Amino acid sequence: MSDVAIRVDGLGKRFSINSRQESYQTLRDTLANAALAPFRAVKSLATNNDDGPADHEDIWALRDVSFEVKTGEVVGLIGRNGAGKSTLLKILARVTEPTEGSAEIVGKIGSLLEVGVGFHLELSGRENIFLNGAILGMKRADIKRRFDDIVSFAEIEKFIDTPVKHYSSGMYLRLAFAVAAHLEPEILLVDEVLAVGDAAFQKKCIGKMEEVAGEGRTVLFVSHNMAAVQSLCTRGIFLHNGSISTDSTAAAAISAYLRMLEQSVSQDLLHRTERRGKGDIRLAKLEISTGATDRSQTLATGRPAVFVFHLTNMRPRTSCIFTIYDDFGQPLATFNSAVRGPEDAPDPALETALACYVDELPLVPGRYRLNVAISSDNELQDHIEGAAFFEVEQGALRGRAVIKGKGYGRVCLQHHWKLPV
């Protein structure tokens, strides 16, 4: 038997931008267009000019992607949002069709693009296990056989006959993941489902994934969590702008990805093309410094930090949300200007900028990056991943030295001890 589990050959997927933003049309417009078409044709003949560029433009979300995965390999797919990871997974899961190319999958596929698909709030936990299991492709007999395992994995024995609308969000996610975790496919396609639930549950999920990987099953795993990719995957594929940029070991793919993120930082923010949002307001410049007195660029643990976001223009009710990530892509903290605190104040000197002040930076020495989102009136205007990188040097938090130690967390908290004499 051939040991190739997945073979992808020149796969490509095209979206038209038109159909991306407003995916559906109305029959009314289509009929009206059809009725007016002859008039337009006559008009363009008469004026003898083209109507300029076509009113929709095509984007290749995925282009010319080829690779093979051997049975038993655990492959991490990494890349930015919009790099094509999820599109690739969706094609392999047969949710959407490719525009060109082909793929061949040998073995029983289980795809987990989201946990809890098809869950119905009115139905009980028991009913949802059967429904969701069937949706994920399990046979009724299999679900019955594994029912007790699923319930105990989810830790919801007492509530199994309660409608899931009465579940806490944690219970809901545990149940959803439990069903998925008991699929027994030969090939598993997973999309970022581990990023749910509390830490203990995440650990359990990762454990389950390790178990699956250890059983010699083939796994294709999309994640933004570099730590998870590093520890789970034997191989990494880094997708960039819809094609494979690096296909190597997990470590090599991760470092290629991080290098790309850093390189794009050197670009002028306005020249960055990989951004989402409406675009009426855009992030033009991002300044990170230690504050007004000494405008040092180098941040240090326990020292002040100021993040200044310069926008192209300003509108009322514009807010800025940014998140600090560690170098493994783990989010550490989010800041949101729309949520007001008593110390927030207007500053006439800012004009089209927003500034965020952190009095004592509670991050251990290391490298961090920022994702920034700008919105106005609850509408996303701009979103840039990896808008900036910054380095934190060794320092002290209220006089207590903070030492970097691998695996002991990235955040430090102000604290004190009481000790015996």
> Interface residues with another protein (CB under 8 A)?
1-2, 4, 7, 9, 15, 19, 23-28, 30, 90-109, 111, 113-114, 117-118, 120, 122-123, 127, 130-131, 134-137, 139-140
| Closer residue to another protein in complex, CB, 139/317 | 139
CA Rg, the chain, in Å? Answer: 25
Q: Which CB sits closer to another protein, 144 or 317? A: 144
Give the Cα separation of 345 and 333 in Å (integer).
Answer: 22
Long-range Cβ pairs for the range 395-403 (8 Å, 24+) = 395/300, 395/301, 395/302, 395/303, 395/361, 395/365, 396/301, 396/302, 397/301, 397/302, 397/360, 397/362, 398/302, 398/360, 402/301, 402/302, 402/364, 402/365, 403/364
- 285 within 8 A of 310, measured Cβ to Cβ: yes
Q: Shortest approach of another protein to residue 9 CB, angstroms?
A: 7
Q: How far is the CB of 108 from another protein (least distance, A)?
A: 6
* Minimal distance, residue 216 CB to another protein, in Å: 15
* Nearest distance from C-beta of residue 319 to another protein, angstroms: 29
Question: Cα(307)–Cα(289) distance, rounded to whole angstroms?
Answer: 7
Specify the amino acid at residue 44. Answer: S
Q: Minimum distance from CB of 8 to another protein (Å)? A: 9
Nearest to 395 by CA among 298, 306, 324: 298
Nearest CA-CA partner of 247 in 393, 65, 387: 65
DSSP summary character for residue 419: -
Q: Report the 10 Å Cβ neighbour count for 202.
A: 16
Q: How far is 361 from 358, CA to CA, in rounded Å?
A: 6
113 vs 356, beta carbon nearer another protein: 113
Position 48, amino acid: N
Task: Report the nearest approach of another protein to the CB of residue 45 (Å).
Answer: 29
Residue closer to another protein (CB basis): 101 or 291: 101
| 177 or 322: CB nearest another protein | 177
32 vs 401, beta carbon nearer another protein: 32
The nearer residue to another protein, 237 or 320, going by C-beta atoms, is 237
CA 294 vs. chain centroid, Å, equals: 36
Helix (H, G, I), strand (E, B) or coil at 305: strand
Burial status of residue 32 (CB atoms within 10 A of its CB: 0-12, 13-18, 19 or more): exposed
CB of 91 to another protein, least distance (A): 6
Residues 110, 348: Cα–Cα separation, whole Å: 56
Cβ pair 173, 149 in contact under 8 A: no
Min separation Cβ 55 and another protein, Å = 17
The nearer residue to another protein, 4 or 206, going by C-beta atoms, is 4
Shortest Cβ distance from residue 279 to another protein (Å)?
23
Q: CB-wise, 43 or 108, nearer to another protein?
A: 108
